[in-house]
């Protein structure tokens, strides 16, 4: 017990503890005071913000046209913040190209754009990042070089802000620094952010992606192919064939996805071949793409996919076939003719899930000259409504009889 009783006198621990108590109490008081002052300040700030927003909104058209000189609001921090915020919101929401020029002119003539470009180049930390994101929102072409410079920043957050900014410009020119940084830059940026930025920038000119894709390798190649898969247009047709035979399975999967946006007559033979790819996810992508093209020839490759060894491919093929709607009875007969129990089961399950099984039964009942196989099929389908597993056994037998 000596320890605790000796320390106060010998080491002045009591004094130390008293100091610690005072520190804690002072901390408590400071924190409470900080909360109170912060709340009061914010309340006051928002009230002023509201008043000034109302005043500036009431003369908005004059501000935009320059009738109200920029000097009257540009040098007042609160007014400047409000006007910039309104301008950026309008730029983002502008649906028509002709809505952009007056908004951009206001940004340029007031010097707001130059101020943000300067901040994006000269500032550090969050101030720089905020400037980068704001520059992106302006969608101004002159913002691109400043944003591109920030891709070489040491700090990852700044690079992320730069990519987001470049993506928000939605300009094809903004995609180039992003891709070049991806191909030859040494500092990493999360893939998801790059993909979204490229998606925004390249949606009117996917050819840029294709150009760089040809000289890319590894992760960059997969990423570019993935974005291209979303943006491909029928005009890219023949170039996509090269990707469909790529050695990287991820690239082939993206090519299959892209084929879904190509002309059906062109895409069908390629996708039919891809349905037999060695990688299951490439086959799956090919099946999904077959679902999105409108061509009667797609049923055969889909039937092949329905007999795939991979469950995901099989189920997806069943889903696509069940969505075709018309001629379900013919398709059903072809499925039965495959003599593949798993294929039949997948197709019936999908028909039942989508509620199309009733239509199929009606279609089969209407058929003239029903043969024995049709009778068995009908009985089986009636049975499947109660027990599919049991029904599949019947169907196997009926396929044999057919």
Cβ-based nearer residue to another protein, 200 or 398 = 200
Cβ-based nearer residue to another protein, 348 or 364 = 348
Judged by CB under 8 A, the stretch of 60-68, 113-121, 146-154, 184-192 that binds another protein is 184-192
Is residue 181 near another protein by the rule CB under 8 A?
no
Contact 223, 195 (CB under 8 A): yes
Cβ-based nearer residue to another protein, 113 or 348 = 348
Instruction: Name which position in 12, 101, 145, 188 contacts another protein (CB under 8 A).
Output: 188
Instruction: Name which position in 86, 91, 179, 199 contacts another protein (CB under 8 A).
Output: 199
Cβ-based nearer residue to another protein, 246 or 352 = 352
Is residue 398 near another protein by the rule CB under 8 A?
no
Query: Minimal distance in Å, beta carbon 367 to another protein?
Result: 25
Phi, psi of 108 (to 5 degrees): -70, -50
Is residue 383 near another protein by the rule CB under 8 A?
no
Is residue 161 near another protein by the rule CB under 8 A?
yes
Is residue 220 near another protein by the rule CB under 8 A?
no
Is residue 355 near another protein by the rule CB under 8 A?
yes
Query: Minimal distance in Å, beta carbon 93 to another protein?
Result: 11
In DSSP notation, 229-265 reads HHH--GGGHHHHHHHHT-SSHHHHHHHHHHHTTS-HH
Structure tokens at 351: 């028909």
Binders of another protein in range 244-283 (CB under 8 A): none
Is residue 37 near another protein by the rule CB under 8 A?
no
- Helix 218-231 and helix 191-201, axial crossing angle in degrees, nearest 10: 40
Q: 174 exposed, middle or buried (CB, 10 Å; 0-12, 13-18, 19+)?
A: buried
Instruction: Name which position in 25, 242, 263, 265 contacts another protein (CB under 8 A).
Output: 25
The label of the residue with tokens 């798993």 reads 342
Round to whole Å and give the CA distance between 227 and 34: 48
Task: Give the contact letters, 295-334, x = binds to another protein (CB under 8 A), - = no.
Answer: ----------------x-----------------------
Round to whole Å and give the CA distance between 362 and 366: 6
Is residue 390 near another protein by the rule CB under 8 A?
no
Round to whole Å and give the CA distance between 277 and 177: 34
Is residue 4 near another protein by the rule CB under 8 A?
yes
Phi, psi of 127 (to 5 degrees): -65, -40
Is residue 233 near another protein by the rule CB under 8 A?
no
Round to whole Å and give the CA distance between 33 and 21: 18
For the four alpha carbons of 279, 284, 287 and 292, in that order, the dihedral sign comes to: negative
Judged by CB under 8 A, the stretch of 25-33, 202-210, 271-279, 375-383 that binds another protein is 25-33
Is residue 75 near another protein by the rule CB under 8 A?
no
CA distances from 402 to 6, 304, 345, 346 (A): 101, 19, 17, 20
Residues 6+ apart with CB under 8 A from 257: 229, 230, 232, 285, 288, 289
Cβ-based nearer residue to another protein, 303 or 315 = 315
Round to whole Å and give the CA distance between 7 and 14: 8
Under DSSP, is residue 268 helix (H, G, I), strand (E, B) or coil?
helix
Is residue 99 near another protein by the rule CB under 8 A?
no
The label of the residue with tokens 């027990």 reads 387
Binders of another protein in range 114-153 (CB under 8 A): 126, 129-130, 132-133
- Cα separation of the two ends of the chain: 96
Cβ-based nearer residue to another protein, 64 or 249 = 249
Round to whole Å and give the CA distance between 56 and 115: 21
The gap from C-alpha 401 to its chain's centroid, in whole angstroms, comes to 49
Query: Minimal distance in Å, beta carbon 349 to another protein?
Result: 4
339 dihedral zone (left: phi>0; alpha: psi -120 to 50; beta): left
By CB under 8 A, the count of residues binding another protein is: 54
Instruction: Name which position in 169, 216, 254, 345 contacts another protein (CB under 8 A).
Output: 345
- 3-class SS shares of the chain: helix, strand, coil, % to 5: 80, 0, 20
Residues interacting with another protein, by CB under 8 A? 1-5, 7-8, 13-14, 17-18, 20-21, 24-25, 27-28, 31-32, 34-35, 38-39, 126, 129-130, 132-133, 156-157, 160-161, 164, 168, 188-190, 192-193, 195-196, 199-200, 226, 230, 311, 345, 348-349, 352-353, 355, 388-389
């Amino acid at each position: 017990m000596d320890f605790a009783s000796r320390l106060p006198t010998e080491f002045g621990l009591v004094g130390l503890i008293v100091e610690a108590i005072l520190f804690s109490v002072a901390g408590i008081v400071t924190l409470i005071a900080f909360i109170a002052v912060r709340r009061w300040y914010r309340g006051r700030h928002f009230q002023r913000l509201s008043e000034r927003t109302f005043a500036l909104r009431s003369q908005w058209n004059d501000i935009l046209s320059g009738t109200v000189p920029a000097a009257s609001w540009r040098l007042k921090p609160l007014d400047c913040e409000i006007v910039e915020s309104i301008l950026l919101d309008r730029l983002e929401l502008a649906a028509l190209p002709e809505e952009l020029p007056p908004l951009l002119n206001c940004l340029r003539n007031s010097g707001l754009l130059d101020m943000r470009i300067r901040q994006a180049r000269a500032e550090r930390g969050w101030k720089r990042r905020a400037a980068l994101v704001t520059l992106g929102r302006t969608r101004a072409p002159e913002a691109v070089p400043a944003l591109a410079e920030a891709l070489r920043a040491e700090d990852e957050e700044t690079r992320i802000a730069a990519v987001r900014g470049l993506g928000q410009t939605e300009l094809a020119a903004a995609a180039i620094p992003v891709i070049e940084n991806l191909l030859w830059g040494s500092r990493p940026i999360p893939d998801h952010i790059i993909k979204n930025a490229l998606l925004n920038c390249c949606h009117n000119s996917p050819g840029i992606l294709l150009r760089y894709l040809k000289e890319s390798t590894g992760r960059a190649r997969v990423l570019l192919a993935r974005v291209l898969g979303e943006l491909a247009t029928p005009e890219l047709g023949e170039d996509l064939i090269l990707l469909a035979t790529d050695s990287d399975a991820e690239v082939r999967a993206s090519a299959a996805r892209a084929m879904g946006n190509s002309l059906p007559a062109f895409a069908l033979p390629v996708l039919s071949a891809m349905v037999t790819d060695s990688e299951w996810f490439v086959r799956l992508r090919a099946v999904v793409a077959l679902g999105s093209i409108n061509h009667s020839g797609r049923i055969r490759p889909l039937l092949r996919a329905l007999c795939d060894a991979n469950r995901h491919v099989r189920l997806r093929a069943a889903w696509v076939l069940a969505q075709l709607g018309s001629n379900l009875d013919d398709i059903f007969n072809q499925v039965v003719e495959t003599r593949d129990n798993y294929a039949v089961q997948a197709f019936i399950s999908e028909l039942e899930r989508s509620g199309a099984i009733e239509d199929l039964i009606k279609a089969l009942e209407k058929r003239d000259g029903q043969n024995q196989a049709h009778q068995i099929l009908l009985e089986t389908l009636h049975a499947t409504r109660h027990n599919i597993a049991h029904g599949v056994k019947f169907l196997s037998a009926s396929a044999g009889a057919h």
